[in-house]
Amino acid sequence: MSSSQLFKDAQQVLVGGVNSPVRAFKSVGGTPVFIKSGNGAYVTTEDGHQLIDYIGAFGPHILGHSHPTILSALRDAMDLGLSFGAPTEAETILAHKVQKAFPSIEQIRFVNSGTEACMGALRLARGFTKRDIVLKFSGCYHGHSDSLLVAAGSGNLTFGQLDSAGVPHSFVEHTAVLEFNDSEAVRQFFSEFGDHTAAVIVEPVVGNMGVVLPELGFLHTLRQVCTQYGAVLIFDEVMTGFRVSSGGAQQLYSITPDLTCLGKIIGGGLPCGAFGGRKDIMAFLSPNGPVYQAGTLSGNPLVMAAGIAMLGLLSDPAIYSRLEQRSHALEVGINQASLATKVPVSVNRVGSMISMFFTDTPVTNLASAQTSNTQRFAKFHSYLLDSHVMIPPSQFEAWFVSHAHSDEDITRTVDAIHHFCETVSS
């Protein structure tokens, strides 16, 4: 069956025909492509097209699809059983591997998703500090738990402005929102609310409004005020962990958070998340402390096996050198296409995360990201698909380069981008 036929059938039984909203192509139009298989840097659609993939399941396939070492580890684990609801040695082995890469994580708790990791970290921070207020930043996404579905308002500071139906206002009244990269607003916020603030949660490199980099001093300001007022600094490294460097954004920017949320890569492409950090904070988590968290499938042996294999492979520094080379080439190619055709583009990249915004405004926060021409992006997305290149179906999602992408893949992608820009400028 074709993707269009499959989507028509899916809409009869799945809400919107999908199990996660961005997959429905609402912001780019057209019919979602249904994937049949993936191998290396490519996915093959049910229509029989092979596409160069820059989604990579939104980040975890840093080595490409169906890496043989990870598949072998999964086969071995399956022979032993699928799930036990009891401890296995693999959980400890993977924890040690994570800890080696992230020294700030003195103890860790594995969960099943990034959403669950962030939810657990915030509950723990509130239990540890015995405070209620949490500060987040507009455009940063930390999963779909109720207390984090808060929108930024028109003012400098917003408390409890709902971003989804079905969430009682009381669930978000203690969640504050500021603009990303506004250090002065952070200092003002803490001067007023610091003694009542449990935590600051942030994507140190944002991936959920497209890639947005922290400006000089911003992350240092967060560390400073959290230390001064006794709040817990939480880095949501679900995307950036093991992606922007082997030790995540905290290694890249030399900032030590109190708690870190991980996901995506640490499960080798299977559903996984984790949160961990300072031992004195983690001691408040059950069964040792009063903050409750549990999960029947947490530490699932298949996920742990895939994660152990993945992190073992990522211990080779040459992988990150190759990722940087390929990602840099893509960034340069996009900028050259923009200059040659005079089509305004703003490119943000950190490591193998990259975004291309159709705007001449530097993108430093959500407001500047929203200056991008989304109608042009929709046409761009369709053009790339026709050119057998797959990027996320939203202007406000990161692209992910994998170790499996070749020089030829990057060249083909840049050529397609250049040709699109030529159609715009002609």
- C-alpha dist (Å) from residue 370 to 180, 286, 308, 363: 13, 41, 39, 9
User: For the residues 346-367, what does the mean pLDDT come to?
Assistant: 97
In this structure, the number of other CB atoms found within 10 A of the CB of residue 169 comes to: 9
Question: DSSP strand E in 214-362: where?
Answer: 232-236, 259-263, 273-277, 346-350, 353-357
Share of residues in the chain with pLDDT > 90 (%): 91
Are residue 188 and residue 336 in the same domain, yes or no?
A: no
Phi, psi (degrees; rounded to nearest 5) at 5: -70, -40
Sheet holding 50-53, edge to edge: 35-39, 42-45, 50-53, 389-390
Q: Do the domain assignments include residue 24?
A: no
pLDDT digits (tens, 9 = 90+) for 11-40: 999 999 999 999 999 999 999 999 999 999
**Known catalytic residue at 264:** yes
Are residue 104 and residue 248 in the same domain, yes or no?
A: yes
Given the residues 141, 182, 258, 320, the one annotated as active site: 141
Share of residues in the chain with pLDDT > 70 (%): 97
Amino acid at 7: F
Q: Do the domain assignments include residue 82?
A: yes
**For the chain, what's the residue count?**
426
Phi, psi (degrees; rounded to nearest 5) at 153: -95, -170
Are residue 334 and residue 225 in the same domain, yes or no?
A: no
> What are the tokens at 247?
């030790």
Are residue 158 and residue 244 in the same domain, yes or no?
A: yes
In this structure, the number of other CB atoms found within 10 A of the CB of residue 247 comes to: 16
Question: DSSP strand E in 129-272: where?
Answer: 133-138, 158-159, 175-179, 197-202, 232-236, 259-263
Residue 378 has pLDDT above 70, yes or no: yes
Q: Do the domain assignments include residue 117?
A: yes
> What are the tokens at 15?
């809400």
User: For the residues 352-363, what does the mean pLDDT come to?
Assistant: 97
Residue 277 has pLDDT above 60, yes or no: yes
Are residue 306 and residue 369 in the same domain, yes or no?
A: no
Are residue 193 and residue 289 in the same domain, yes or no?
A: yes
pTM given for the model: 0.95
Are residue 113 and residue 248 in the same domain, yes or no?
A: yes
Residues with Cβ within 8 Å of 334's Cβ and at least 6 positions away in sequence, in order, are 345, 347, 356, 414, 417
Q: Do the domain assignments include residue 305?
A: yes
Last residue of a domain, one of 257, 278, 313: 313
We report the CATH number of the domain holding residue 174 as: 3.40.640.10
Residue 330 domain boundaries? 317-380
Given the residues 53, 136, 264, 320, the one annotated as active site: 264
Q: Do the domain assignments include residue 55?
A: no
The DSSP result for 324-383, as a single string, is HHHHHHHHHHHHHHHHHHT---EEEEETTEEEEESSSS---SHHHHTTS-HHHHHHHHHH
pLDDT for 9:
97
Q: Do the domain assignments include residue 41?
A: no
Are residue 280 and residue 323 in the same domain, yes or no?
A: no
Are residue 274 and residue 375 in the same domain, yes or no?
A: no
pLDDT for 408:
98
Q: Which residue do the tokens 């959980």 mark?
A: 91
User: For the residues 182-200, what does the mean pLDDT come to?
Assistant: 97
Are residue 269 and residue 372 in the same domain, yes or no?
A: no
Q: Do the domain assignments include residue 26?
A: no
Q: Do the domain assignments include residue 286?
A: yes
pLDDT digits (tens, 9 = 90+) for 237-265: 999 999 999 999 999 999 999 999 999 99
Are residue 176 and residue 295 in the same domain, yes or no?
A: yes
Last residue of a domain, one of 313, 329, 344: 313
160 versus 211: the higher-pLDDT residue is: 211
Residue 170 has pLDDT above 80, yes or no: no
CA 297 – CA 283 distance, rounded (Å): 22
> What are the tokens at 87?
């401890």
> What are the tokens at 214?
């922290």
Given the residues 53, 182, 236, 258, the one annotated as active site: 236
- Mutual angle of helices 301-313 and 89-101, in 10-degree steps: 30
pLDDT for 144:
84
Nearest to 400 by CA among 207, 245, 219: 207
Mean pLDDT is lowest, of 140-144, 332-336, 396-400, for 140-144
- Model confidence at 145, pLDDT cuts 50, 70, 90, reads confident
In this structure, the number of other CB atoms found within 10 A of the CB of residue 19 comes to: 10
User: For the residues 77-90, what does the mean pLDDT come to?
Assistant: 97
pLDDT digits (tens, 9 = 90+) for 91-109: 999 999 999 999 999 999 9
> What are the tokens at 270?
């299977």
Are residue 285 and residue 195 in the same domain, yes or no?
A: yes
**Known catalytic residue at 130:** no
Provide the domain count of the chain.
Answer: 2
Residue 153 has pLDDT above 90, yes or no: no
Query: Average model confidence (pLDDT) for the chain?
Result: 95
Three-point CA angle 324, 335, 44, nearest 5°: 65
pLDDT for 159:
57
Q: Which residue do the tokens 């046409």 mark?
A: 379
Amino acid at 110: F
CA 68 – CA 229 distance, rounded (Å): 48
pLDDT for 197:
98
CA 282 – CA 256 distance, rounded (Å): 16
